[in-house]
A and B are shown apart, each in its own frame.
Chain A
Amino acid sequence: MYKKTTITNVLAVLMLGFLSSCTDLDFYPHTSVAPESVSERDMDALLNGMYNAVQNNQGRESYIMFDLVGGNLIGASGGSELAFIRNIMRTDYDLVNKNWSGLYQALYQVNNVLSIMADQPASEKRERMEGVAHFFRAYIYYNLVTRWGDVPLILENTTERVSRDPAAHVWQQIEADLAVALEKAPTYEGDYYYVSRQAAQALLARVLIGQNKMEAAAQAAEAVIALPTFSLDRFDKIFRHQQNREEIFSFKNLTEESTITLSRLFYTYAHDVSGSYVYKPTDAVMTLFDEGDNRKDISIATVSALNVINKYPSGQTGTDPFPVIRLAEMYLIAAEAKGLEGLPWLNQLREARNLPAIDPTTETAYQDAVALERRRELLAEGFRWYDLVRTGKAVEELEIEPYRTLFPIPDYEREVNSNLTQNDGY
């Protein structure tokens, strides 16, 4: 009955059955697709992915880098401001390296979207996506050129060992990208968490004053101010997550989508929302605001004798939206670029912030007043250092060596790309 040969035969048949099925070596990931298979249906997802990349890749310190090296912030344990700045502006400092690589990684995603769009059939959706992508490319290059000066200009993704292009070319490209964004980006429809052509107009104003093109900057800024869409709004609305008319473009920075945990850098463990208290406002910042200024309590606070930045209220409990461009900056650009003539813009902003009008008589006194207002208004929003650099005051004000008006190219990057030169002095 159960003969050896019978059993052997049965086993052999079973074996063959198994054998024929156990040969599969082709498996595919379940969370991703091949880039060439991206179709029109995936365009929305591609767009959202681009927002996510530009928001997150640059790293949280990128958003306050110019406050860190601009005398607004210092390490929470105190010490010399100059030593703090010098410590950041090091060729081997991780934050600088991450900022560089993060911006280029975001650029890679943006360029990738543009190259995919080029292969899609023309449509309104494609137009709008291209507009947004060009806006982001301009935004990324603005961040790169203001930090490092000459930087590699990459308009199509490459694995080549690239060299640095002159800053002037980079600025040109930024303007060219913004021109495309102005033409193609969607019109603002009340949701400032998305890029609009109005946002491109505003960024253009920043880019122009960044190159000290005063007249054009004033024009661009005034064009935004003139829009009925936006108006100066209550300061607490902007920084306490309430719908307002002042923000032009902000990153939504939802907790589950974000690595930009900026807020936890500022609060202490003794605070309600708790934080790791990495940076605190400098002494100068603590005395920056006049009595009655409605920005003061929103911007800074003192909790159990420790000074903290108070603009991003979540602490460790979550993340806060980050305003990239808001209308107040346009007032300040217009005021600065027009010289004394721009005084009404300055006073209108002061009025909105519950400060009396001023009437400086000399251009110097006026520009000092604008700079002071800028420092107050845009504290911990990533402006201070480049404002000092472009107005030629950085060396004097921060007591830094002249070469520290540019960031060092990170060692890590130079070690894998010998074509990159270092900025002088490092």
Chain B
Amino acid sequence: MRFQLIVGLLLSLFIQVSGSTYAQRVSLQVKNTTLSDVFEQVAKQTGYVFLYDDRSFTEKKISLAVQNAPVEEVLEACLKGLPISYKIVERNILFKQDESKRSLSTAAQQPEQVTGRITDSLGNPLQGVTVMVKGTTRGATTNAAGNFQIAASSGDVLVFTLVGYQRQEVTLDGQSNLQVALKMDFSDLEEVVVIGYGRQKKEDLTASVASFRPTEENARPVLGPDQLIQGRMAGVQVSGGSGSPGTSNRVSIRGIGSLSATNEPLYVIDGIPLVNQNAALLNFGENMNPLALLNPNDIESVEVLKDAASSAIYGSRATNGVILITTKSGKANQTKFGIDAFTGMSVVPNTDKMEMADPDLYLSVINEAIDNFNTQYGYSPGVSNYMERKENPFPGEPGTDWFDLITRPANTTSVSLSFTGGTDKTSVYLSGNYLSQEGAFIDQKFTRYTGKLNLTHKLYKWLEFGANTTYSYSNNKRVPGSNLGTTMMGRSLLQRPFDRPFKPNGDYYLGGTDELIYHNPFQIINEQDISLDNYRFLGSFFGRATITEGLVFKTMVGTDLTYTLDNIYYAENHPYGTGIGVKYDNRRFTPNVLWENTLNYNKTFDKLNVDGLLGYSYQKINLSTSNIAGSGFPSPSFQQLSVAASILEAGTTVTESALMSVFGRANLAWDNKYLLSVSLRADGSSKFHPDNRWGSFPSVSAGWNISNEPFWQLIGTTAKVRASYGETGNQDGISSYAYHAQMSGGRNYDNKSGIGVSTNGNRDLTWETARQYGAGLDLSFLNGKLNVTADYFIKKTDNLLYSKPEPATSGFTSIISNIGSMENKGWEFLVNANVPLGPVLWSSDFNISFIKNRLTSLIGDEALLIGANMTLQVGQEVGSFYMYKQTGIYQSDEEVPESLYKNGVRAGDVSYEDLDGNGAINVSDRQIVGTANPDFFGGWNNSFSFKNFDLAVFFTYSYGNEIYASYRTNTDRLGSGFMNMTQRVANERWTGPGTSNTTPRAIYGNAWNTQNSSRFLEDGSYIRLRSLNLGYTLPTEVAAKLGMNRLRVYLQGDNLHLWTNYRGYDPEVTNNFDPQFIGQDNLILPQLRSFNVGVNIGF
């Protein structure tokens, strides 16, 4: 239906156009006829199409007689004396109001060119100040030197505005050169923030929305917008992943929102809700960040909708919060060309914390472990179980620092170009970025190219079209992360210190043999060919029509197309190359298409301001994948599967899901004092059974600007109170067909296709629903020099989606179910101070959040064990560590209980608390020993500006969270296996009564001491000097001599220092993003420390 319509329309246009020939000459004889009739005749004769901005002038009547005259002549005659000019563009004739003609015709006072210079109160020129002639649309903008030029007449009022400065008006009194100094405005109430499907003045906000604008001064060398907001907002916790380029981060808004897989917020870029998916297909130990495909320089602002009042408009996907990312757009009458570039170096920090034992220390501990083993079990030489002592095959020679050999200082280079321009009708933002970021391991590298075009054009006063498009390509050469058999960290740090990577003849020493206990990390890196390519097109096309005053209709088609190509090639010499070469080729195409229509109504009736929204959207997500693996390649230079001797596996999948939604909102404000906002969204999701497919998500919030009341006497102080309630949902983490019971194919035998039950389905499945209550207070003192925002919230989540463990006797070990409820409560504080210290302006932003999580109900109220060392228990936090509790070290054999002694426990071994007192240490002795959730966390940014210098010092911190250092079950084995150990544990080991009450003895073949227990649980509190930026802007005159408007050079340091008691590399360890597994350190590559130098240039 719709296709015929479009095709038909296009065809008729085409036929009409191509069917006419364009006669250039016209014959006419009219008397007292309206111009519109004249034009109609001209159109008939010539085939020209007449287009008007405003066709009122065509009512004018004229008399005219011409024979075979040029069209131009006729038009001139018609328009004589009218303030109208025309233009012939191909076969169109466009009419336009002509300002110059108008002034001639009205013979009004002729404006003169007024020039001026605008500075701040210290005399520094201000760029980008908008200068308007009050009551007209005439405007100009200041350049980098603060100068402007505008046509104005004496008596006109010029209005100067700039964000961050107080608005100022100057009445012209014959001057032609103005000097204006703008005063700083610390109050941000006039600031406009982006909200779901719209914008709102901060003063009118009734919900909790956090906003961050990246600037040159606070820039960090990050890949994605999620990293950008780390530490910047109260209630938003961004935990860094590993130090590998392109790795993903964990973002948690107002605590753990759900139990299902990702727990990540919904990202909406320029109105398009994204699908949260790992940017990689093949498991290489770490998830890759899909947001790394964006160029941070393109980001205008990032807004986080924290409470349900603001996020309920996104309905069934909003429980974990919504992050709105708005990209830059062109501005009318401003033309800017910019270059932003930096280069730098990154290193692995804090390597001293993981100093491994040297050959002598290693051997002394290992042989002590072997002696203890032989002695304890009474084995003597000749008995089959007797262990021989180990020797250094290269005695007297220095050991190998494996980690140092395999890592390097890594280079990063980024270059961005951008162009911003616009006229009254058209605005353009165009940018391109190249980024090359090396990883700390040799061969590890991320490369990215992005291009962006944002364009809007006003066709008529009432009709506007536009497009926002981003294209990006990235290539990531990865190395294996933790949890893989080829983990680079584990395969370097844990090697025996006397072993070497290469034989004298250049061959690899082989892992898993007597030569080397683990895979040779050089063999892993050199013999693999890895490449993860992502191509992404993110774009929307929209039209906006003003139907009547205040009523705007917008329709938008948005697409997010991602194509991923993930290849791993293990050459024949790779440990996994099986001697013949193996190739994995996985591909994925994810078209995510959205069609959205909104109707906005904005009108002020006396004191009542109404802002209404009505919308409909349909979003369809298709996912198709293919995976092929093959082996048997003639030589490492052959890498394509067409030459593989055999195909190991091959498959393709297609899945589809869709979400249909209707939503609406009304924001009411009475006299800027009383604010009310109500919203409702109804979502229908294909992921659920038709009977429970639809859900509705309402919200209501109210605010009171007390300081706008007449009784408010405190000048320079403003206050607002807010309260809200809302409901949101979450359907993340369940598959597209979770409600269907399925017999799946692919279960073949003997090359014949087979089927079997793959899931029982769960027809009762429905989304998680969160009910959120919030209250907040915004205070501003001393004309905005001190601003405080405080928020309190309660978030109750019901119908938690979870892959619930089932007894295997049911045929499945888990089933996705709605299993329980939980609650998050929290306080958030944001303090902003702007303190002029003489010539220095100090601006400080401090935020802190206290969030407490509690599981309030579970099916059957029985505790669920999650993974090896976490639990879900009613009344406890999600993220509770559940394991044995170490009470100390047995100092003598007599202290060891009889039941344990007979199992081989001796003096020097760990003593665990026997909770049930049954003499044995078993599952029932596990207990909650800590939590991965912090008591509080936040960030503190300080920026200083002095003359041409700017300095920003930014800290992030977290307090009270514990980390389970699971890597220590390997590094702290003390001779239970032959991997290397940290110097620390070797030096702290128990060697006799009183030597240690925390670290056990060295003993071979002992699993007792390395069981999951509080022995490996550590305090993960920290303060990090996240970044330090020092910039210098060259004086305008100097820049001008270089042909630039503006030149800023800067030094930037990232992750410069870490204050923590945590004994591993870095307490910010998030290998697994599942909230039930957070806070476990599996020895991932820590976040790197980087030093960068860069420039910002404006032309």
Contact = CB atoms under 8 A, between A and B. Distances in A.
A268 B741 CA distance: 43
B811 A256 contact: no
Judged by DSSP, the binding face of B is mixed
B648 interface: yes
A152 interface: yes
A27 B656 contact: yes
A22 B595 CA distance: 8
Contacts of A254: 749-751
B755 A42 contact: yes
Interface string B506-533: 0000111110010100000000000000
A79 B387 contact: yes
Nearest to A48: B754
A159 B806 CA distance: 8
Interface of B: 1-2, 5-6, 9, 49-51, 373, 377, 384-385, 387, 460, 462-463, 485, 510-514, 517, 519, 543, 545, 547, 555, 575-580, 595, 597, 616, 618, 620, 631, 646-650, 653-658, 660, 684-686, 690, 693, 736-737, 740-758, 805-813, 862, 864-865, 868, 922-923, 977-978, 1004-1005, 1007
Contacts of A349: none
B653 A27 contact: no
Nearest to B748: A257
Contact of B1 (A20, A100, A270): A20
A35 to B, nearest CB: 5
A413 B808 contact: yes
15 contacts: A1-B51, A17-B2, A17-B5, A18-B595, A20-B2, A22-B595, A30-B654, A31-B745, A82-B385, A105-B808, A108-B812, A158-B809, A254-B751, A273-B578, A416-B864
B684 A25 contact: yes
Contacts, number: 262
Given A29-B740, A256-B649, A277 B923 contact: no
A34 interface: yes
A15 B747 contact: no
A108 B747 contact: no
Contacts of B740: 28-29, 32, 34
A108 B811 contact: yes
Interface stretch (A50-58, A203-211, A224-232): A50-58
Interface stretch (A3-11, A360-368, A382-390): A3-11
Contact of A105 (B748, B813, B978): B813
Interface in A96-131: 100-102, 104-105, 107-109, 112
Given A14-B2, A47-B754, A152-B809, A276 B512 contact: yes
Give the 5 A-B residue pairs with the shortest CB-CB distance, closest first.
A108-B811, A48-B754, A101-B808, A17-B2, A49-B754
What's the interface size class on A, roughly? 35 or more
A92 interface: yes
A21 B755 contact: no
A10 B385 CA distance: 88
A226 to B, nearest CB: 29
A190 to B, nearest CB: 14
Contacts of A28: 737, 740
A31 B746 contact: yes
Contact of A79 (B649, B752, B1005): B1005
A15 B693 contact: no
Contacts of B737: 27-29, 32
A426 B921 CA distance: 10
B2 A317 contact: no
B285 to A, nearest CB: 17
A255 B648 contact: yes
Contact of A80 (B377, B580, B658, B660): B377
A320 B143 CA distance: 76
B810 A49 contact: no
B545 A11 contact: yes
Interface of A: 1-2, 4, 7-8, 10-11, 13-15, 17-35, 38, 42, 44-53, 55, 76-83, 87, 91-92, 100-102, 104-105, 107-109, 112, 152, 154, 157-159, 161-162, 193-194, 252, 254-257, 268-270, 272-274, 276-277, 283-284, 304-306, 315-318, 411-413, 415-418, 420, 426
Nearest to B760: A159
B1 A27 contact: no
Contacts of A49: 747, 749, 754-756
Contacts of B577: 274
A269 B510 contact: yes
A27 B579 contact: no
A316 B579 contact: yes
Given A2-B51, A29-B742, A104 B1 contact: no
Most buried by A among B460, B512, B690, B813: B512
B880 to A, nearest CB: 16
A25 B1005 contact: no
Contacts of B485: 276
A15 to B, nearest CB: 7
Given A8-B547, A274-B578, A315-B578, A305 B514 contact: yes
Contacts of A284: 384
A83 B654 contact: no
A273 B579 contact: yes
A274 B595 contact: no
Contacts of B9: 10
Contacts of A426: 922
Most buried by A among B6, B650, B693, B742: B742
Most buried by A among B656, B747, B805, B813: B747
Nearest to B757: A112
Contacts of A316: 576, 578-579
Contact of A34 (B513, B580, B741): B741
A268 B657 contact: no
Nearest to B622: A27
B743 A255 contact: no
Most buried by B among A45, A157, A268: A45
Contacts of A276: 485, 512
A28 to B, nearest CB: 7
Contact of A25 (B463, B579, B693): B693
Contacts of A193: 750
B328 to A, nearest CB: 28
A48 to B, nearest CB: 3
A191 to B, nearest CB: 9
A8 to B, nearest CB: 7
Given A101-B813, A269-B512, A306-B514, A48 B463 contact: no
A76 B977 CA distance: 12
B19 to A, nearest CB: 16
A121 to B, nearest CB: 20
B513 A29 contact: no
A13 B5 contact: yes
A22 B618 contact: yes
Contact of B579 (A30, A274, A417): A274
Nearest to B976: A79
Contacts of A272: 579
A25 B978 CA distance: 57
Given A34-B743, A79-B1005, A101-B813, A415 B754 contact: no
A351 B265 CA distance: 71
A19 to B, nearest CB: 7
Contact of A415 (B575, B685, B805): B805
Contact of A30 (B50, B555, B653): B653
B288 to A, nearest CB: 25
B513 A109 contact: no
A23 B578 CA distance: 51
A112 B923 CA distance: 34
A236 to B, nearest CB: 22
B808 A48 contact: no
B805 A51 contact: no
Contacts of B658: 24-25, 27
Nearest to B572: A274
Contacts of B5: 13-14, 17
Nearest to A162: B809
Contact of B655 (A10, A29, A109, A112): A29
